Amino acid sequence: MATRLRPASKKCTVIGGSGFLGQHMVEHLVGKGYAVNVFDIRKGFDHDKVHFFLGDLCRKEDLLPALEGATVAFHCASPAPSSNNRDLFYKVNYLGTKVVIEACREAGVQKLVLTSSASVVFEGTDIKHGLEDLPYAKNPIDYYTETKILQEKEVLSANDPEGKFLTVAIRPHGIFGPRDPQLVPILVQAAKSGKMKFIIGDGKNLVDFTYVENVVHGHILAAEQLQRDSPLCGKAFHITNDEPIPFWEFMSRILTGLGYEAPRYHIPYWLAYYLALLFSLVLMLLRPFIAINPTFTPMRVALAGTFHYYSCERAKKHLGYKPLVGLDEAIEKTLRSYPHLHRTA
């Protein structure tokens, strides 16, 4: 029987492929017939159809073998936002991304799809139906976001159709779903230690939470539509569930779905913000003696107490994007995927 050869254009590399989003990307790409290389500093899972390359993206010599023969590279690697390590964010997200671009060009990769973040325009004040052409935040909410801005600028300005190298950035917001190590586990941890009693503000602020499969879908569409002279070249695209929901309703649905009580007492936004700021200053002074990772940071209070939802009309128009999984189904699937986080008694 003749074996059908996989077209060379279907070989890709997922940088950060061992992470939460990366792993979902890999599974969907394999399902769509791509030959997939994963590049990461750690091996997060096993897959018989995937080639794993371990290394640091800041080192071009580590990266090059993983990019060999690939036409598309997806760059979804980043230090965890909660690590709050300024030097590490700068090194990996900014300097490392320059290395990624250089290595892609050297290896002959034709398309680079960056996972950016909708937060690159967020300064801690309300954004309603935000468009991609809002200016980058002058005062980003944290170091992580500061370096996501530098990273996105670097990738978009590297778009070079003459040099046969095309780039695009996907800006998701509040990714959640099975195996997310961040949103649901942090929430459950806070609930277990009795910290999820308060609603910051009036609880009416709408926010985007985006199911991981929709984020993956947006990335794959971007890679497939990115062509010379297409309106995608060098542009950013919001990818959301297109169903903004009150932040505290989303939190409550996750908490009650896992058997915890929903927060019910209101605390004014400004009070929560200044308390978190004061707390982080105290922790900074104490850092030489004791290291604590606080649950309530000024950044989280800002995210929990303001409106921040984004339009994905540009993605609908130019990528043909439409969320594949609606919010209700996404929450259900997520809750079902965390049996070990259900409250026992």
Ligand X SMILES: CC(C)CCC[C@@H](C)[C@H]1CC[C@H]2C3=C(CC[C@]12C)[C@@]1(C)CCC(=O)C[C@@H]1CC3
> Measured from the CB atom, is 45 or 279 closer to ligand NAI?
45
* From candidates 183, 191, 223, 239, binder to ligand X by CB under 6 A: 183
Q: Are the C-beta atoms of residues 240 and 173 closer than 8 Å to each other?
A: yes
Look up residue 91 and give its DSSP letter: I
Q: Pick from ligand NAI, ligand X, none: which does 18 bind, CB < 5 to 8 A by kind?
A: ligand NAI
Alpha-carbon distance 262 to 67, whole Å? Answer: 46
Asked if residue 175 binds ligand NAI (CB under 6 A), the reply is yes
With DSSP H G I counted as helix, E B as strand and the rest as coil, what are the percentages for the chain, rounded to 5? 45, 15, 40
Question: What angle, 0 to 180 degrees and rounded to 10, lies between the N-to-C axes of helices 247-257 and 298-305?
Answer: 100
Q: Are the C-beta atoms of residues 131 and 314 closer than 8 Å to each other?
A: yes
Q: How far is the CB of 330 from ligand X (least distance, A)?
A: 15
Asked if residue 182 binds ligand X (CB under 6 A), the reply is yes
For 39, phi then psi, to 5°, come to -120, 125
> Measured from the CB atom, is 118 or 199 closer to ligand NAI?
118
Asked if residue 303 binds ligand NAI (CB under 6 A), the reply is no
Q: How far is the CB of 247 from ligand X (least distance, A)?
A: 7
- Report the chain's C-alpha Rg in angstroms: 20
* From candidates 64, 80, 186, 275, binder to ligand NAI by CB under 6 A: 80
Asked if residue 100 binds ligand X (CB under 6 A), the reply is no
Asked if residue 77 binds ligand NAI (CB under 6 A), the reply is yes
How many CA atoms lie within 13 Å of 115's alpha carbon, on the beta-carbon side? Answer: 28
User: Which segment (49-57, 61-69, 155-163, 297-305) binds ligand X by CB under 6 A?
Assistant: 297-305
Closest CA to 200 of 130, 265, 108: 265
Q: What separation, in Å, do the N-terminal and C-terminal C-alpha atoms of the chain show?
A: 58
Residues 60-99 that bind ligand X (CB under 6 A): 81
Burial of 174-209, coded b for 16+ CB within 10 Å and e otherwise, reads bbbbbbbeebbeebbebbeeeebebbbbebebbbbb
- Per the annotation, the verdict on 310 as an active-site residue is no
Look up residue 18 and give its DSSP letter: T
Alpha-carbon distance 173 to 190, whole Å? Answer: 21
Q: Pick from ligand NAI, ligand X, none: which does 140 bind, CB < 5 to 8 A by kind?
A: none
Q: How far is the CB of 15 from ligand NAI (least distance, A)?
A: 6
Closest CA to 319 of 238, 251, 245: 238
Q: Pick from ligand NAI, ligand X, none: which does 21 bind, CB < 5 to 8 A by kind?
A: ligand NAI
Number of residues that bind ligand X (CB under 6 A): 14
Asked if residue 13 binds ligand X (CB under 6 A), the reply is no
* From candidates 41, 64, 95, 186, binder to ligand X by CB under 6 A: 186
Asked if residue 76 binds ligand NAI (CB under 6 A), the reply is yes
Asked whether the CA dihedral 59, 61, 62, 68 is positive or negative, the reply is positive
Alpha-carbon distance 157 to 151, whole Å? Answer: 10
Question: What torsion do the CA atoms of 308, 314, 320, 324 make, to the nearest 10 degrees?
Answer: 0
Residues 146-175 that bind ligand X (CB under 6 A): 173-174
Contact mark string toward ligand NAI, 39..68, x via CB under 6 A: -xxx-x-----------xxx----------
Asked if residue 255 binds ligand NAI (CB under 6 A), the reply is no
* From candidates 124, 130, 140, 172, binder to ligand NAI by CB under 6 A: 172
The contact set with ligand X (CB under 6 A) reads 81, 117, 119, 173-174, 182-183, 186-187, 190, 295, 300, 303-304
Residues with a known catalytic role: 144
Q: Which residues bind ligand NAI (CB under 6 A)?
A: 16, 18-22, 40-42, 44, 56-58, 76-80, 92, 96, 115, 117, 148, 172-175, 181-182
